[in-house]
Amino acid sequence: MILRKGLWFGKGSILAEGASLGDSFEVDLEIVEDNDGMTLTGRLLEAVEGDVSIRVAPNDVGTYTIDARIASVAVDGIAKLESEPNLALLWNEGQTLAVTATLFMTDTGVGCRGFLREGDRTRTWEILFKPKQEVVGGGNVVSLANRRRQ
């Protein structure tokens, strides 16, 4: 799997079909692994707001089962996560909404692109995830960063 345990920050946009400009959003994620799979939890901010809760677990046919709650959307589905690009197909209970997601490595992080189809509306979206770096401080730490002189 491309995404690994830890803290991640994502910045992306969602674009409605026929529009030339998308709406920007950000997401903070924590990924926790256990013996049965992984759980992603976090929060979406800006154009799309709400909590994120995604459970990914291997199934007995060589793929992965996904149970996702993203803002007000609840979808379940299947994914191939053993090789790049990672690919997922998700749908809601009434099968009126379908979502695709593809994860792939970039030189600056992990890219994620997909489609969301609901009724006769289609949207595309993309996110760039980067691992969050913890700030280390202490008496024996020296910063080599340029500082502005007052």
Output the pLDDT for position 137. 59
Per-residue pLDDT in tens (0 to 9) along the chain, 150 residues:
788 999 999 999 999 888 888 899 999 999 999 999 999 999 999 888 899 999 999 999 999 999 999 998 999 999 999 999 999 999 999 999 999 999 999 999 999 999 999 999 999 999 999 999 765 556 666 555 555 554
What is the per-residue pLDDT for 134?
A: 60
Q: Where are the domains of the chain?
A: 6-131
Buried b (16+ CB within 10 A) or exposed e, 87-98: bbebeeeeeebb
Beta strand pairing call for 86-91 and 50-58: unpaired
Chain Cα centroid distance, residue 123: 16
| CATH class of this structure's domain 6-131 | mainly beta
How many CA within 13 A on the CB side of residue 41? 3
H helices of 3-111, where?
none
Q: Please report, as a single letter, which amino acid is at residue 146.
A: N
The 8-class DSSP code of residue 12 comes to E
pLDDT at 133: 73
